[in-house]
Amino acid sequence: DTGVSQNPRHKITKRGQNVTFRCDPISEHNRLYWYRQTLGQGPEFLTYFQNEAQLEKSRLLSDRFSAERPKGSFSTLEIQRTEQGDSAMYLCASSLDEFTGSHQPQHFGDGTRLSIL
């Protein structure tokens, strides 16, 4: 179990630029979540994948944000035309299915910290 891996750890970019983050979940985990955490706050849900299907998106995910999980393995989160308000920690989490009815905990990565200049 190598854990959830996120890259890069830190991204600094100028306002208006596009950025892309990558998340590699634990290999057997079907479910993948993206959260955003601003300074001094708890994480907020952005979107959720079951295998390659994006099944839920938060209102926080404006049209500048897009997430993919093309083969049901790694996922990318892209932010276009970045704004100052996008500065945050972006967290990825993965878990197993819960079809058996038993709760499967989410395992978090270290996050990608985005700083907009």
Partner 1 sequence: AQTVTQSQPEMSVQEAETVTLSCTYDTSESDYYLFWYKQPPSRQMILVIRQEAYKQQNATENRFSVNFQKAAKSFSLKISDSQLGDAAMYFCAYSMVLGGEYGNKLVFGAGTILRVKS
Report helix, strand or coil for 60: coil
- Taking the complex as a whole, the smallest distance from the CB of residue 78 to partner 1 amounts, in Å, to 20
Cis peptide before 8 (omega within 30 of 0): yes
Binding map of partner 1 across residues 60-79, x = CB under 8 A, - = no contact: --------------------
Among 23, 77, 91, 114, binds partner 1 (CB under 8 A): 91
**What gap in Å lies between CA 15 and CA 116, rounded to an integer?**
6
Residue 97 · residue 108 · CB < 8 Å: no
Closer to partner 1 by CB, 19 or 46: give it. 46
For partner 1 (CB under 8 A), the number of binding residues is: 29
Kindly state the helix (H) or strand (E) to which residue 31 belongs, with its residue range: strand 31-37
Binding map of partner 1 across residues 10-49, x = CB under 8 A, - = no contact: ---------------------x-x-x----xxxxxx--x-
